[in-house]
Amino acid sequence: MTEHVLWHEQIDPPSKGDVTPPRSADVVVIGAGYGGLAAARTLAVAGLSVAVVEARRLGWGAHARNGGMVLSELKLGPGVLERRYGDLGRRMYADANEAFDAVESMVRDEGLDCDYERCGELYLAHAERLVPRLRRLADEHLARGEAVRFVVGSELPAEIGSNAFPAGIVFDRAGSLHPAKFHAALAARARHAGALVIDECLATSVSRSGSRFVVDTAKGPIDAGVVIVATNAYADGLIPALRRRILPVGSYIVTTEPLDPGLADELSPRRRNFIDTKQFLFYWRLTPDRRMLFGGRRSLAASSLADATDYVAASMRRIHPQLGAVDITHRWGGSVAITLDRLPHVGRFDGVWYAAGCNGSGVALNTWLGDRLARHVLGDVDLPSFAELRHRPIPLHRTRRWWLPIVGQWFRWKDRP
Ligand SMILES: Cc1cc2nc3c(=O)[nH]c(=O)nc-3n(C[C@H](O)[C@H](O)[C@H](O)COP(=O)(O)OP(=O)(O)OC[C@H]3O[C@@H](n4cnc5c(N)ncnc54)[C@H](O)[C@@H]3O)c2cc1C
C-alpha cells in the first residue's frame, strides 16, 4: 500500500533547498523539522551564519505528517511531575505552557499562514475506572490556574458525538494547525533571516577539529563553530549516544473524505482536539475542510501501513459509528520519539547540542525548544528546565525489536476497557 499524506497534497511542494552547503558556518543545524528551523532562524536573526542540512527533501519528516494538534502537554500530569521532580517538575510544567504560548503568539503576531485555531482539547477517559483519576488530574490543573473543565455524563454530547467515553477534561490551552503549512512558514522565516537550508543532504559524521567541528555531509564537509542536532525521532547513527536514548515508535493516521456539515457538527460540535487516556492513545479532530483525521497505533511491533491504518480506521468507526459508510481517502505513518522517562531532553554530547524526545507532542514543544536552545547558544537565556533531567539510555536498545512487543502487550493490558 502506498501512503497518501493529506498535508502533502494541500500545499505546493516545498521549494528545493539551497543546493550546496557552505564550506564553513558559525552554526550547522542537522535536521530541518520544526526544532531545527526555529533554532536556525533565531541564530540567523542574531547575525550568525547558519546552515541547516536535511537528509530528505524538505517537508518529509514528522513535521509534515503529524496530527496538527498544538498542545502544552507533557505525558506526566503536574501532580506527578511535582511529586517525582519537586521544583524541577513545577518548572517543566511551566515550560510546557510557555512553549504553547510562545508558538501561538509567534503564529498570530507574525501572521503565519497555517490555519491556526485555538480549538481547545477534550481529554477522554477510555474506561470508567479512569474517571476518578481524570477528576484528580483536572483538580491538579485547576489548582495551578489552568483553564480546564471536568465534563461527565450528560455534558459530553455538547463536546463529542460518541458514547464511548464516560468523562473528559476540556483544556482551553490547545490549538490546531496545518503541519505542512506551519513547516513551510518556519522554513521561509529561517531563510528570510539568512539561514541556508540544504535538503537531500545527509549529515554522515560530526568530528571535533580543535575548538571547532567538521560536519561531513553527502554534499561535502562543513566547518562549524557550533553544531545543533534536531533529528528527534529520526536520530540515526550520527550521534550514537543520542540514538541510544531515543525510541522511534510508529504512529499512523487516516483521514476521511470531507463530511457533510451536519455530521461534522454532530461528531465535534466545538471542533476540539480529542485525545484518550490509553497508552496506545487515539488522537482525532476535524480538519478545516471537515475531514475526520484519526490517529493512533495498535502495538509496539513493526507493522505494515495497511495493517496499522486498517486498525486505526476500525477504531475510528467504533468510536464514531456514524462514520461507517464514509470513505477513507488518505493513510500514512511517521515516527514519534519516546524517551525512558517520557519527557523531552536537551543537552550536549561531546560538545554537540541537541533537543529531542517530545513523546508524540512536539509541534509546540520542539519549535520552542529549538528557539530556546539557539538563544542559549547566543548567551541570552538559561537552558530550559528539561536540560536538568538525566537523559538515560533505553536499555537493550539494539535488541528492541524483540522486547518491544512484550512491553506492548503490557500496555494493551493497561488499555483494557
Ligand atoms: C503520525 C504523527 C502524528 C503526530 N501528531 C502530533 C500532534 O498532533 N501534535 C504534536 O504536538 N505532535 C505530534 N507529533 C509529533 C511531532 O510531529 C514531532 O514531535 C515533531 O514534528 C518533531 O520535531 P521536528 O519537527 O523538529 O523533527 P522532525 O520533523 O522529526 O524532523 C527531523 C528531521 O531530521 C532529519 N534527519 C535525521 N537524521 C539526519 C541526518 N543524519 N542528516 C540530516 N538530516 C537528518 C530527518 O530527515 C527529519 O526530517 C506527531 C508525529 C507523528 C509521526
In a domain, residue 411? The reply is no
- Those residues whose C-beta lies under 8 Å from the C-beta of residue 408, and which sit 6 or more positions away, are 280, 299, 300, 301
d(C-alpha 6, C-alpha 256), whole Å? 10
In a domain, residue 220? The reply is yes
* Total structural domains within the chain: 1
In a domain, residue 43? The reply is yes
Probe target for ligand 1 pocket from 336, 354, 373, with the most ligand atoms within 8 Å of CB: 336
d(C-alpha 279, C-alpha 126), whole Å? 10
Helix (H) or strand (E) holding 404: helix 400-414
In a domain, residue 326? The reply is yes
d(C-alpha 244, C-alpha 349), whole Å? 12
In a domain, residue 297? The reply is yes
d(C-alpha 260, C-alpha 277), whole Å? 29
Burial of residue 359, with CB atoms counted within 10 A of its CB: 0-12 exposed, 13-18 middle, 19 or more buried:
buried
Q: Report CA(139)–ligand 1 centroid distance (Å).
A: 32
Residue 53 CA: which ligand 1 atom is closest?
43
| pLDDT (0 to 100) of residue 360 | 92
Check pocket membership of 233 for ligand 1, CB cut-off 6 A: yes
Task: Write the Ramachandran bin of 24: left for phi over 0, alpha for psi from -120 to 50, otherwise beta.
Answer: beta
- Of 315, 339, 345, 344, the closest CA to residue 328 belongs to 315
In a domain, residue 217? The reply is yes
Residue 135: give the domain boundaries.
6-405
- Those residues whose C-beta lies under 8 Å from the C-beta of residue 345, and which sit 6 or more positions away, are 245, 339, 354, 355, 356, 357, 386, 387, 389, 391
DSSP character at residue 398: G
Q: Residue 236 maps to which CATH number?
A: 3.50.50.60
Backbone phi, psi, residue 290, to 5°: 65, 30
Check pocket membership of 222 for ligand 1, CB cut-off 6 A: no
| pLDDT (0 to 100) of residue 351 | 96
The pairing of strands 292-296 and 148-152 is unpaired
Residue 62 CA: which ligand 1 atom is closest?
29
Residue 73 CA: which ligand 1 atom is closest?
11
In a domain, residue 417? The reply is no
Q: Report CA(334)–ligand 1 centroid distance (Å).
A: 8
d(C-alpha 174, C-alpha 72), whole Å? 7
In a domain, residue 30? The reply is yes
Q: What is the pLDDT along the chain (417 residues), one digit of tens a residue?
A: 889 999 999 998 777 777 899 999 999 999 999 999 999 999 999 999 999 999 999 999 999 999 999 999 898 999 999 999 999 999 999 999 999 999 999 999 999 999 999 999 999 999 999 999 999 999 999 999 999 999 998 999 999 999 999 999 999 999 999 999 999 999 999 999 999 999 999 999 999 989 999 999 999 999 999 999 999 999 999 999 999 999 999 999 999 999 999 999 999 999 999 999 998 999 999 999 999 999 999 888 888 999 999 999 999 999 999 999 999 999 999 999 999 999 999 999 999 999 999 999 999 999 999 999 999 999 999 999 999 999 999 887 777 777 777 777 888 888 888
Work out whether the CA dihedral 341, 347, 351, 352 comes out positive or negative: positive
Check pocket membership of 63 for ligand 1, CB cut-off 6 A: yes
| pLDDT (0 to 100) of residue 395 | 81
